[in-house]
Amino acid sequence: MYDSHQTEMSVLPFEKKEKQAIIFIGIQACGKTTFYHRMLSDGNYAHISLDDLRTRNKESQELMKCLESGNSFVIDNTNPEISNRAPYIQKAKEHGYHVIGIFFQSRVKDCVRRNEERGGKVPSKAIACTSNKLQMPSRSEGFDDLYFVRIENNDFEISTWME
């Protein structure tokens, strides 16, 4: 079972700096939000998530606050398709941000199991549907750095993305 309250931590392969935009990519229940809380929630990164904000308008307002103030942020959505990621990358680049993509290994069966363990918040069919739309990220989208994350022994293993 994946324990989101585990205290042992992985080490980020990048230095936390000002004006970083981190875009998560992965299906529901693959560990994105837990990764944020474990690795990035120390106050350096604003957490921008549709799950929390509920509307694109509120998400856009939060994003603009970060861009205008120069605060680093994390986009914690599934972002399965290039077209989902492009607006975030474009806006971040326009404001001089270093853009990092983090792709989360997304095995449907593992994500369905984790989703059930947390109360089945997302229909299993929706997880499979998002998986079917998943497009692998590439530096050609505008990412300055790309990383691959998988869950191993209740911890996050982070490696540099190989194209």
SS (H, E, C) the chain: CCCCCCCCCCCCCCCCCCCEEEEEECCCCCCHHHHHHHHHCCCCEEEECHHHHCCHHHHHHHHHHHHHHCCEEEECCCCCCHHHHHHHHHHHHHCCCEEEEEEECCCHHHHHHHHHHCCCCCCHHHHHHHHHHCCCCCHHHCCCEEEEEEEECCEEEEEECCC
> Does 26 have pLDDT greater than 70?
yes
pLDDT value at residue 118: 86
User: How would you class 113 by CB atoms within 10 Å of its CB: exposed for 0-12, middle for 13-18, buried for 19 or more?
Assistant: middle
The band of 3, judged by pLDDT with boundaries at 50, 70 and 90, is very low
For the cut 60, the answer to whether the pLDDT of residue 6 exceeds it is no
Tell me the mean pLDDT in the region 109-127: 90
Largest CA distance in the chain: 41
Backbone phi, psi, residue 45, to 5°: -130, 125
* The pTM of the whole model exceeds 0.85: yes
Q: Could you tell me the pLDDT band of residue 8, with boundaries at 50, 70 and 90?
A: very low
pLDDT given at position 131: 95
pLDDT at 115 over 70: yes
When pLDDT is averaged across residues 141-156 and rounded to a whole number, the result is: 93
Is 155's pLDDT higher than 50?
A: yes
Residue 9: what pLDDT?
A: 46
pLDDT top residue among 54 and 75: 75
